[in-house]
Structure 1
Amino acid sequence: MTEQRPVPYWRLSGFYLIYFAALGSIIPYWSIYLQSIGFSAADIGLLVAILLGTKIFSPNIWSWISEKNRQPVVMIRLASFLSVLAFSGIFLGNGFWWIATIMLLFSFFWNATLPQFEAVTLFHLKEDSHRYSLIRIWGSVGFIAIVVVIGEGLEHYSIAHLPALILVLLAAIWVVSLVVPPPPLESIQKESRFWLPIAKSPQILAFFIVCFLIQASHGPYYVFYTISLDQQGYSGGATGMLWALAVVAEVLLFVVMHRLLKKYSLRFILLTGLCLTALRWFLIAYGSDSLAILLLAQLLHAASFGSNHAVAIHFLHRHFKGQNQLKGQALYGAVSFGLGGVIGSLYSGYLWDVGGAETIYLIAALISLLALFIGWKWVEIESGK
């Protein structure tokens, strides 16, 4: 009989805390840094697209390597170290092609770590996968903390210090990865079935399409939410409060998600989340002049991102068994945050000049409704009780 090993809760949580703190230093502020060193809006858009675009192929390459050696934690440590090394090059030049090369190399390594770590977390949890949200919540805490710290810091210090802060956080990710123990080898035994037939099944394909559409619908939010609030006359303080509120709502959702998973099926949570996602984009499209409506819309981030992501992680855990979990996590990251993120950014950028905020959020709502229809029609998930 195999000895039951305790879950390394704080070490797993620590990785999420620092990883998403690094993400929080990049997503809201990296474009401001690029602007400060003289890049145009078009240049900034392309550099950010490179950051997202590597999510399409990087996780799959690294998960394939990890699958061969069956040592995912070793691969996470290696990718984390190489991301530190690659990002260090940011201090050696500031030309467009140099920064583009650094972004390509850095993101190729950095975007490989999280999908593998998600699988490692679930390997450790085993049958207690409903506890995933209690670990992942620390990622949201890290994101909130760093956004507030940097926002306050910019009142006193130059944005020129941002790359140094990011490098410190990337190095901290690598250090934390060194203390995360490998999961028991028996939990990552090779699956007898090849992973491709799993991914090609109609239900799995439909699920990946839903994930792609969810992230594509978030394009206007991640790219133009702050800009649209500024055009509506909201202050910087109010804008920061609204961003923070969304992540706080996500944190509260993660706190209770393990209870929801015991009470409701994954299918019910998924379809409810998609309904609320569409509602969120409709509210922003037509109610952005009302602070009360915007507050409600930001609370719905718990559904549009929080519950949908949690459902995706548990869905992959059920359908991609053993070593195939690494491939499932990589495919999820590539299709949703990679391809979905790139497409969402592109259509919202193009349509912003055509119809403004109302148009792009209306498109986002319709995309969410399409995801709802596909999920209702073709995604069947057994009870999560």
Structure 2
Amino acid sequence: MLPYWRLSAYYFFYFGFVGAFSPYFTLYLQSLRFTATDIAILMSLMQVMRILAPNLWGWLAERLGVPVLIVRVSAVASLAGFALFFLTTEFAGIFVGMALMAFFWSAALPLIESVTFTHLGAQGHRYGNIRVWGSVGFIVAVLGIGHALDYLPIDSMLWMTASVLAGIVVCAFLVPDAVRPPAGRTQVSLRETLGRPEVRALLGACFFMSAAHGALYVFYSIYLVDNGYGKALVGWMWTLGVLAEIVVFLFMPRLMKRYSLRAILLFSFVAAVLRFLLIGWGVGSLAVLLFAQLLHGATFGAYHAAAIAAVNQWFPGKLQSRGQALYGSLSFGAGGMAGGLASGLTWDTIGPAWTYSLGSAFALAGLFWLMKGWRRESPPTPVHD
């Protein structure tokens, strides 16, 4: 029986943490008078650890066959790492806390994705109906904390975010193990799968899509506040993007039946090229910013659902944890780190508008790579008799 609500609750709190942390921790760091470069370095640790940790933990889960146990350990250790933020306001101390928290927190998502698809089995098209609760959790956190910070000091976000992390710990212990059916045939190796041009094209394009979002995740809240928008509105802007994401997740089963994964991904990259140009040059117009946030439904919702479905097809069975880890490491890890660091270097030099234009250029590079390397819809990874 599919443990729908237990999996959904985990996604709710996991992405609730993203809604509590990403939009407001940068404002907290700014209140400590850290420079744009300092903030970019600290926030990039989340992406650095997404390069290292998922592959390590994915390999360990594959070897030991205990992905849920690792998810539980990562939840407890993430909360312990976050606790260091209550003890110091110095760059070195926050750097250590970020590194520890990110190393364990980033281990969980590829594993829980693998566990979810294993529970779903032949019902993989229902992934969006479970993942949508992560978007709901993001909205609850980003709106609640955004409104609270209009009345409370910025450092109160630490306690609110720690409470969400505690929710992840509870849900991690409620998620049941998923037993994969025994394989009747020998699957192809990881090297053979990575040798397929469409697989390499997807992973490379995903790197650029995450790089395109670098300035958004590091500086978007600061950008809006610096241009006269209130913190509550900042929360609503993030919420609007995730509402668009939710709508897309709910319709993904229908979209995937009507359109190929390749077509959905190509559309998502085109939307990203437009979105970051609008954010960079249209900050003076609330209407432009609202439209740009609606495009999040394509640049993350449709993009992520289609990308993860392709990874699930191309990395079956025991390769699934490794495939999800590679996707997370190369996209959210390496791509997010590159985009975040690049935005930190350009923010105070060439300015926000050109920094977001650089994000648009990243998306354009990903679009060209995907079009060239993935020329037609590909079947799932074959198996050898």
**By the TM > 0.5 criterion, same fold?**
yes
Alignment of 1:96-111 (within 5 A): 96-111=91-106
Output the CA distance in 2 between the equivalents of 1:51 and 1:323: 27
Structure 1 counterpart of 2:275: 280
Offset, 1:187: 6.4
Output the CA distance in 1 between the equivalents of 2:356 and 2:90: 34
Confirm whether residue 300 of structure 1 aligns to residue 295 of structure 2: yes
Structure 1 counterpart of 2:377: 381
Question: Amino acid of the residue matched to residue 381 of structure 1?
Answer: E
Inter-CA distance 346–42: structure 2 relative to 1 (3 Å threshold): closer
Larger deviation: 344-353 or 249-258?
344-353
The percentage of counterpart residues that share the same residue type is: 40
Question: Amino acid of the residue matched to residue 251 of structure 1?
Answer: I
Output the CA distance in 1 between the equivalents of 2:137 and 2:186: 34
Structure 1 counterpart of 2:383: none
Q: Please, which of 67, 77, 83 is the counterpart of residue 72 of structure 1?
A: 67
Output the CA distance in 1 between the equivalents of 2:309 and 2:184: 19
Offset, 1:237: 4.3
Structure 2 counterpart of 1:33: 28
Confirm whether residue 19 of structure 1 aligns to residue 14 of structure 2: yes
Structure 2 counterpart of 1:348: 343
Structure 1 counterpart of 2:284: 289
Contact 2:41 2:341 (8 Å CA) reproduced: no
Offset, 1:169: 2.0
Larger deviation: 320-329 or 218-227?
218-227
Alignment of 1:54-203 (within 5 A): 54-186=49-181, 192-203=187-198
Output the CA distance in 1 between the equivalents of 2:270 and 2:230: 30
Inter-CA distance 10–187: structure 2 relative to 1 (3 Å threshold): farther
Contact 2:85 2:94 (8 Å CA) reproduced: yes
Inter-CA distance 362–40: structure 2 relative to 1 (3 Å threshold): closer
Q: How many residues align?
A: 379
Inter-CA distance 239–161: structure 2 relative to 1 (3 Å threshold): closer
Inter-CA distance 238–18: structure 2 relative to 1 (3 Å threshold): closer
State TM-score, norm by structure 2: 0.91
Output the CA distance in 2 between the equivalents of 1:226 and 1:139: 20
Q: Please, which of 44, 47, 53 is the counterpart of residue 42 of structure 2?
A: 47
Offset, 1:233: 4.1
Q: SS of the residue aligned with 1:186?
A: coil
Q: Please, which of 207, 210, 213 is the counterpart of residue 205 of structure 2?
A: 210
Contact 1:351 1:360 (8 Å CA) reproduced: yes
Q: Please, which of 204, 216, 223 is the counterpart of residue 221 of structure 1?
A: 216
Q: SS of the residue aligned with 1:354?
A: coil
Offset, 1:230: 4.1
Larger deviation: 40-49 or 336-345?
40-49
Contact 1:281 1:364 (8 Å CA) reproduced: yes
Contact 1:70 1:188 (8 Å CA) reproduced: no
Confirm whether residue 313 of structure 1 aligns to residue 313 of structure 2: no
Larger deviation: 374-383 or 145-154?
374-383
Q: SS of the residue aligned with 2:54?
A: helix
Contact 2:200 2:373 (8 Å CA) reproduced: no
Query: What are the superposed Cα offsets for residues 17-36 of structure 1, whole Å, 9 maximum, x if unpaired?
Result: 00111111111111233344
Query: What are the superposed Cα offsets for residues 332-369 of structure 1, whole Å, 9 maximum, x if unpaired?
Result: 11111111111111222222233323322222222222
Structure 2 counterpart of 1:252: 247
Larger deviation: 275-284 or 36-45?
36-45
Output the CA distance in 2 between the equivalents of 1:345 and 1:13: 29
Structure 1 counterpart of 2:360: 365
Query: What are the superposed Cα offsets for residues 112-165 of structure 1, whole Å, 9 maximum, x if unpaired?
Result: 001110111111111111110110001111011111111121233333333333
> Which structure 1 residue ranges, 5 or more long, are not aligned?
1-5
Question: Amino acid of the residue matched to residue 91 of structure 1?
Answer: F
Output the CA distance in 1 between the equivalents of 2:4 and 2:266: 30
Inter-CA distance 190–106: structure 2 relative to 1 (3 Å threshold): farther
Output the CA distance in 2 between the equivalents of 1:140 and 1:280: 20
Q: SS of the residue aligned with 2:270?
A: helix
Question: Amino acid of the residue matched to residue 352 of structure 1?
Answer: W
Contact 1:265 1:382 (8 Å CA) reproduced: no
Q: Indicate the RMSD between aligned Cα atoms, in angstroms.
A: 2.2
Question: Amino acid of the residue matched to residue 377 of structure 2?
Answer: I
Output the CA distance in 2 between the equivalents of 1:383 and 1:38: 52
State TM-score, norm by structure 1: 0.91
